[in-house]
Amino acid sequence: MNRILVGVDASPPSVKALERAAEEARLRGATLEVVHAFNPPDQSTAFPVVPEKGADRADLEAERTKANDKLGRWLEESEVDLSDLDVEWSVLANNRPTEVLIDRSKDADLVVVGSRGRGGFRGLLLGSTSEQVTRHARCPVLVVRPSTR
């Protein structure tokens, strides 16, 4: 395997997904690609970025840089050991993380997602993102469930 893709949103399940993706990348000598899709006009994401009304492209890029910095800090604070891995991360202005992960799956050998993210219906087995990625990804998908111990 050359590339393992993991979607993160700073929820506890995404930390578990990051841990498992790092483990898989380490076992296979693969690059770990960490992706977060943010919604510029909405603060519902873990790394909120809100450009001012009428913001131009330069403003959006500045906000993307801020979100990228926040993702970098979150990766450090997650305490997941990434030190011996080739890690790439990207922050994309797209309010549909499912779309981003499915699109990126064409260049991945494995996609790793948490079973639930920041969405509403906690009782569901799968969140909407993990369910859609499992159905439409162009490579195998590993859905990481929280520990039941």
Question: What pLDDT is recorded for position 46?
Answer: 52
In angstroms, how far is CA 69 from the centroid of its own chain? Answer: 15
CATH superfamily of 3-144: HUPs (3.40.50.620)
| Highest mean pLDDT, choosing among 81-85, 91-95, 112-116 | 81-85
Segments making up each domain of the chain, as ranges: 3-144
For 8-21, write each residue's pLDDT tens digit. Answer: 987 788 889 999 99
Within 23-149, strands assigned E span 31-38, 87-93, 110-114, 141-144
Check residues 82 and 64 and name the one with the higher pLDDT. Answer: 82
- Per-residue pLDDT averaged across 20-25, rounded? 96
Neighbours of 13 (CB within 10 A): 21
- Per-residue pLDDT averaged across 90-107, rounded? 87
Question: What pLDDT is recorded for position 129?
Answer: 81
Sheet containing 3-7: order of strands: 87-93, 31-38, 3-7, 110-114, 141-144
Closest by Cα among 138, 142, 132, 104 to 24: 142
Query: What φ, ψ does residue 123 adopt, rounded to 5°?
Result: -75, -15
Check residues 120 and 136 and name the one with the higher pLDDT. Answer: 136
